[in-house]
Amino acid sequence: MVPKSIAWKGDYSARRRPSGRPPTHAAITKLVLRLAHDNPRWGHRRIHGELTRLGHRIAASTVWKILNSSGIHPAPRRTGPTWKQVLASQAHGIIAADFFHIDTVLGKRLYALVFLEHGTRRPHIAGVTQHPTQEWTTQQARNLTAQFGTHSFRFLLPDRDGNNSSTFD
């Protein structure tokens, strides 16, 4: 028999709690994944906000970890084409216009108007002049349009020179 005045030498291992944050409940994980699947444009912060409105206490970082560990990108843009894909799909309908200058041996400066097809990357030198004006630029665009015939471009990307007028667009 051991008197009560002697301290017990146990290590309390039966009463120890595991260290660290408790694991997220499976129901919460399932709900996060369902919200992400049903709403593909929602990011981890929006999903966190919806869960908070539903009364669940969960951190935004936990939602991010759940999505990331499940192979779902936590950023809001998970579907839809990227900007590079949009430009690639529309490239055959885009033509850009730009001027560049040529310095001659005699010290004169000439300006060339070039149109560049984005789909084929083919340049079209529309004309060369010493003094480009808005009227001249517009006429060169009309000449190029007549040259293309039935092939039409949906988008014209002009440079920001003063040589482009509203009729050029």
First to last CA, the chain: 103
DSSP 53-117: HTT----HHHHHHHHHHTT---SS--SS--HHHHHHHHGGGEEEEEEEEEE-TTS-EEEEEEEEE
pTM for this entry = 0.50
Domain boundary, last residue among 35, 65, 80: 80
What are the tens digits of pLDDT across the range 25-52?
999 999 999 999 998 888 899 999 999 9
* Residue 166 belongs to a domain: no
Q: In angstroms, rounded to a whole number, what is the distance separating the alpha carbons of residues 132 and 155?
A: 23
Burial of 24 (0-12, 13-18, 19+ CB in 10 A): middle
Residue 74: domain span: 23-80
What are the tens digits of pLDDT across the range 76-130? 665 677 778 888 888 888 889 999 999 999 999 999 999 999 888 999 999 999 9
Tell whether 99 and 148 lie within a shared domain. Answer: yes
Residue 124: strand pairing partners: 115
